[in-house]
Amino acid sequence: LSTAADDSAKVLEAIPAEDPVGKTVQKLVYRYIAKRHLLPSRRRGYTQKARVGGHKVYLRTGEYEDGSLGEIFIDMHREGAAFRSLMNCFAIAVSLGLQYGVPLEEYVEAFVFTRFEPNGIVQGNDHIKMATSVIDYIFRELAVTYLGRTDFMQVTPEDLRSDTIGNEEAESGAGVPRSSDSALEFVEEEVVKEDLGGAPVPGQTREDHTSKGFKAPREVVRARGPVKRVSNGAELDPAENARRLGYEGDPCGECGAFTLVRSGTCLRCTTCGATTGCS
């Protein structure tokens, strides 16, 4: 419809205003552009249920025979009467604009990134995970579905494929690269007697054996200095190490240390021993 309107505007510019035939053509073109294209009585569409910032949102669409969008319905059944009425009136206004030829792209560019509450995490949608408002979520969903706009989604279709290979380091859960047999690599430690100046440990020496296939082990020593560690694997990430110790990541209200651990329904600081209200 927008293309037809542009072509009609060019035709109108070429027609002289003094010509009576030209005036008649202008009236016909204006009447055609202003004509409302109604949807069929039985129309197709879909209903998308989601939560935006913890608030349920139902989006229902109506389509023409060619699959283009012609109307929308918005329902937030647990909101107040005033907010629900405003959302219904907004949906009717958008639907009328679509039926009179306003491109969906114009609505998307105008209302995406609109910010007001409720906003935040989006649940129940495969591609959209964050929204700055309910209106932002609605037009992101319409842009993804009817315009194929992948720049408005946080999860692309490639991420939902069953054969997608993610980040091995993130999937392993321990910050250590996963080996081919999914086993953790062992850490080798080597202690050299000459470098460390260690002394023999009583009771931990063995006699030499000359039997075939067996070597006499070297004398076991106890290190007096720091031991050099030779590791074939990556060291644990500090964040993962803190997660293994049970730290929640919140600061203590008494000492400010990030060493709060779960203790029943409360949190307890392992540094100063303070709790969040119950013991």
Task: Report the pLDDT value the prediction gives residue 275, as an integer from 0 to 100.
Answer: 82
**pLDDT 10s digit of each residue in the chain, 279 long?**
445 555 555 555 555 555 666 666 666 555 556 688 899 999 999 999 999 988 999 999 999 999 999 999 999 877 778 888 999 999 999 999 999 989 999 999 999 999 998 889 999 988 899 999 999 999 999 999 999 988 888 887 666 566 555 554 444 444 444 444 444 555 555 555 554 455 555 555 555 444 455 555 555 555 555 555 544 445 667 777 777 777 777 788 788 788 888 776 678 888 888 887 665
Cα–Cα distances (Å) from 105 to 40, 110, 275, 279, in that order, read 23, 9, 53, 57
* Chain segment 198-211, per-residue pLDDT in tens: 555 555 555 544 44
Give the E-state strand segments of the chain in sequence order: 47-52, 55-63, 69-75, 120-123, 130-131, 187-189, 199-200, 221-222, 229-231, 260-263, 266-269
Per-residue confidence (pLDDT) for residue 97, from 0 to 100: 93
- Cα–Cα distance for residue pair 204/198, rounded to 1 Å: 14
**Which residue type occupies 165?**
I
Are 39 and 70 in contact, with CB atoms under 8 Å apart? yes
Q: How far apart are CA 81 and CA 92, in angstroms?
A: 16
- Pull the structure tokens for residue 236: 């644990």
At position 44, the amino acid (one-letter code) is: R
Q: Tell me the pLDDT tens digit for each residue of 113-143.
A: 999 988 899 999 888 999 999 999 999 999 9
Please state the domain extents for the chain: 2-33, 47-157, 238-269
pLDDT of residue 79: 74
What pLDDT was estimated at residue 174?
Answer: 46
DSSP class per residue in 23-56 = HHHHHHHHHHHT---PPPSS-B--EEEEEETTEE
Predicted local confidence at residue 22, as pLDDT: 66
Residue written as token pair 């007697």: 193
User: For residues 221 and 228, what is the distance between their CA atoms, to the nearest angstrom?
Assistant: 14
Q: Pairing between strand 55-63 and 229-231? A: unpaired
Global pTM? Answer: 0.49
